């Protein structure tokens, strides 16, 4: 535990072997698993997790092949008031989710527009439920970085440090930033997406009411 009560949680990978509780870092890009390093339970759980993560990586690679860029999105919520997951409360872990931005993650519905800015952004999010503070770190990443545990450590430490302190250049209020972006959306030609969503909704917005 560090001063904030965070446990170290890292990407744990395995190469033809079940994930091991004492392995930290990313060892290969074939299978990445995220976990609480001290609480590996039954082997069956581990095996299931490995399969799930393999699917994630496969999906990620597929989208990468389509668009050439992606955003990885990792979220951690800590034990205590911020989590409603019994298992997490029981073992004191704060690992709750790992999500990748990929069309496959949306059920293979559509290939979304490419990420606007630079390629290979890795997003690392920490949330402190006690204070409500959210730190969102956005890093230039490459596949080799995701295999480098020191890089992952650095990412974590940088975001964690930001969470400890208040400051930086004040850029606005989240709601206002969002409103500005929505204005741009309103004027953009989104006919294609609208058509897709209508299809998703069963042909007519009225059908979902």
Partner 1 sequence: MIVDRISVGGYDVVVYKLRNDAIHGVFMGDTPLLGVYNDMGRALLFSAYFAEDSVVYRRVSGGSVIYLFAVDSEKLNSKADTWGIQRHTVVKDVAATLLYAEGYANAGGIATEVTLPRRCWRI
Binders of partner 1 in range 131-190 (CB under 8 A): 131-140, 158-159, 162-163, 166-183, 185-186, 190
Contacts with partner 1, 69-98, as mask; x by CB under 8 A = --x-x-x-x---xxxxx-xx--x-x-xxxx
Question: Should residue 33 be labelled a site residue for partner 1 when binding is judged by CB under 8 A?
Answer: yes
Report residue 111: phi and psi, to 5°. Answer: -85, 115
CB crowding 143-166: b at 16 or more within 10 Å, else e: eebbbbbebbeebbeebbebbeee
Please report whether residue 19 would count as binding partner 1 according to CB under 8 A.
Answer: yes
Q: Write down the least CB distance from residue 1 to partner 1, Å.
A: 18
Of the candidates 6, 134, 160, the one whose C-alpha atom is nearest the C-alpha of residue 79 is: 6
Rounded to the nearest 10 degrees, how much is the dihedral formed by the CA atoms of 31, 37, 43, 49? -40
Nearest to 130 by CA among 87, 82, 178, 198: 82
Assess 20 for contact with partner 1 (CB under 8 A): no
Shortest Å distance, C-beta 36 to partner 1: 6
Does 32 sit near partner 1 (CB under 8 A)? no
Selected from 7, 29, 66, 103, the binder of partner 1 by CB under 8 A is 103
- Considering CB under 8 A, how many residues would be counted as binding partner 1? 102
């Amino acid at each position: 535990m560090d001063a904030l009560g965070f446990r170290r949680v890292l990407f744990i990978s395995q190469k033809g072997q079940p994930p091991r509780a004492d392995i930290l870092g990313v060892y290969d890009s074939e299978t990445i698993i995220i976990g609480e390093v001290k609480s590996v339970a039954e082997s069956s759980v581990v095996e299931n997790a490995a399969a799930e993560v393999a699917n994630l990586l496969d999906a990620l690679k597929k989208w990468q092949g389509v668009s050439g860029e992606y955003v990885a999105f990792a979220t951690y919520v800590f034990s205590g008031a911020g989590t409603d997951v019994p298992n997490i409360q029981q073992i004191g872990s704060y690992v709750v989710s790992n999500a990748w931005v990929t069309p496959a993650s949306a059920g293979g519905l559509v290939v979304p527009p490419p990420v606007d800015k630079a390629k290979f952004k890795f997003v690392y999010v920490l949330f402190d439920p006690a204070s409500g503070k959210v730190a969102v770190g956005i890093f230039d990443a490459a596949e080799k970085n995701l295999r480098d545990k020191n890089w992952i450590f650095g990412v974590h430490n940088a975001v964690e440090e930001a969470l400890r302190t208040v400051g930086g250049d004040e850029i606005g209020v989240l709601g206002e930033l969002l409103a500005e972006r929505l204005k741009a959306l309103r004027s953009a030609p989104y006919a294609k997406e609208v058509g897709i969503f209508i299809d998703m909704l069963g042909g007519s917005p009225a059908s979902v009411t």
